[in-house]
Amino acid sequence: MCGRFNVTSDPLAELLMALLGQSLSGPDKYNVAPTMNVEVVRPDTHQQALELVSMRWWLTPYWSKEVSTRYSMFNAKSETLEKSSAYREPFRKRRCVVPISGFYEWVLEGVKGNRQKQPYYLRPVENSGLLLAGIWDSWRSREDAQAEPLLSFSIVTTAVHPSLKFVHNRQPVLLSRQTALSWMDPATPIETLQQLMLPGIPEPLAVIPVSSYVNNARHTGARCIEPIGDVIEVCASG
């Protein structure tokens, strides 16, 4: 699962320059929650280059009557992409990559009768940024033909790699720079895309306990990622 993440120019500047020759244009966001807008990478309209575009994190299908949060659409399970009426076409035609600095997960810890959810921040050990597989869509209002289209996306998730099971039973699909290009390439066969969505960790991750300050989505400062305990390192695999 991926319910919160962090987007900061350091370390993403170098990663995005290598991927598409530009950097983030918006401010640092240490605590991005569903329905917020962030910049994602996608092929341009001519499929000739990559571009960085601001989108809402909660996919609204193009055929939807209205923009709604009635159904959970910020994560999309890899196992059901081709079965879902909301995700099938975006998966086949509108794949994107979500560049982030790291993401948060909450783990239930403590003894019976006194258990609490402990937030952890997961980022590359080298603090080099992560690339998540995503799908996007474009929705237009039927009442206001002059309104700008709403661009929105979902993060694709998969079963968790065994080395991260202590954090959650699912994880976002993590891509390397090379597999990110394959993910966005419209010519990539479905069979290859399915392989890209298998559980894996392309580079070593640091799993960092942070304070409950991050629990409140209105808290968006650097305090969200400050460690409060020992860092756990998870090796790259898959």
Q: How confident is the model at residue 207, as a pLDDT?
A: 97
Q: Tens place of pLDDT for every residue, the chain, 238 residues? A: 688 999 998 778 888 888 888 888 778 999 999 999 999 999 987 777 899 999 999 999 999 988 888 788 999 999 999 999 999 999 999 999 999 999 999 998 876 777 899 999 999 999 889 999 999 999 998 877 777 899 999 999 999 999 999 999 999 999 999 999 999 999 999 999 999 999 999 999 999 999 999 999 999 999 999 999 999 999 998 6
Q: How confident is the model at residue 30, as a pLDDT?
A: 96
In this structure, which CATH number among 3.40.50.1820, 3.90.1680.10, 3.40.50.300, 3.40.50.720 belongs to the domain 4-234? Answer: 3.90.1680.10
Residues near 176 by Cβ (< 8 Å), separated by ≥ 6?
Answer: 131, 202, 203
Annotated domain spans of the chain: 4-234
What pTM was estimated for this model as a whole? Answer: 0.94
Q: How confident is the model at residue 1, as a pLDDT?
A: 66
Q: How confident is the model at residue 38, as a pLDDT?
A: 95
Residue identified by tokens 């609490």 is 116
